[in-house]
Amino acid sequence: MPRLRFLGTGTSTGVPQIGCHCEVCCSTDLCDKRLRTSAMLSLDNGAHILIDCGPDFRQQMLRWPYDKIDAALITHEHYDHVGGIDDLRPFSFRKSIDVYTNERCAHNLKQRIPYCFAEKKYPGVPNISLHGLSELKPFCVAGVEVVPIEVLHDQLPIWGYRIGSMAYITDMSSMSSDEMLKLDGVKLLVINALRHTLHHSHQSLSQALQVIDKANAQTAYLVHMSHEMGLHAIVDKSLPPHVHLAYDGLEVEW
């Protein structure tokens, strides 16, 4: 049975947010401590697929005993989702790591960390095989089919991913009806919800709940949350029975 571990569930500033003294940032509940959003998918064939690789990646990997990463799926090029790519290096000593994303994001990564893709690489840099995909067609990663889902992050087209009966979407503000069809029959839906009030480039809690209802997901977990979402212990109890706030370290099966 496949498993998904939430490595981080926070927004770009993380929680606690530096300099903030609200009740969430001062909470001693570990569920209110949120590193930048990322996840690890563990397949029945033993493969591990990383979803996003943010600036907290090294800290996240020190917490959990993953000794290999077979591939990575990147949703978009914003720093809180790619800032840890250099730290893939210890996982790439034995073999290259395939990294998949859309064509625009791949181009951005080559400009941001060119030493990883130079013809003559400096010894010790991450051994990455970057795949910039130009079409929204299914592709194979580590023996499973991955279906890209294009959503909007304000005006920026970014990718979510569906693998089997699980779909993972973060940083979404809106989604077309055609892409919504890709969520048909999903058992586990991971989706972003920044806070209770509206935001120009991220879903609010109420907007995320509407998408979950439209998708008719059996179970849903919310990620990419700011301190404005509120205390985990309180907000989680207020949600529908099949919807939960994810928290760092949580592992789920479906």
Domain count, the chain: 1
Q: Does residue 140 lie within any of the structural domains?
A: no
Q: Does residue 254 lie within any of the structural domains?
A: no
pLDDT, residue 118, reads 86
Place of tokens 């947010």: 17
pLDDT, residue 120, reads 86
Q: Does residue 170 lie within any of the structural domains?
A: yes
Q: Does residue 188 lie within any of the structural domains?
A: yes
Place of tokens 């991955």: 146
Three-class SS of 211-223? HHHHHCCCEEEEE
| CA distances for 113 relative to 70, 76, 195, 218, angstroms | 21, 15, 32, 40
What's the CATH code of the domain at 114?
3.60.15.10
Q: Does residue 141 lie within any of the structural domains?
A: no
Helices and strands counted in the chain (H then E): 6, 14
Residue 171's domain comprises 3-135+146-247
**Which residues have CB under 8 Å from 120's CB, separation 6+?**
none
pLDDT, residue 122, reads 87
Q: Does residue 94 lie within any of the structural domains?
A: yes
Kindly give the parts of the chain with pLDDT less than 50.
none
Instruction: Give, rounded to a whole angstrom, the gap between the first and last alpha carbons of the chain.
Output: 7
Q: Does residue 252 lie within any of the structural domains?
A: no
119-170: per-residue pLDDT in tens? 888 888 999 999 999 999 999 999 999 999 999 999 999 999 999 999 999 9
Q: Does residue 15 lie within any of the structural domains?
A: yes
80-100: per-residue pLDDT in tens? 999 999 999 999 998 999 999
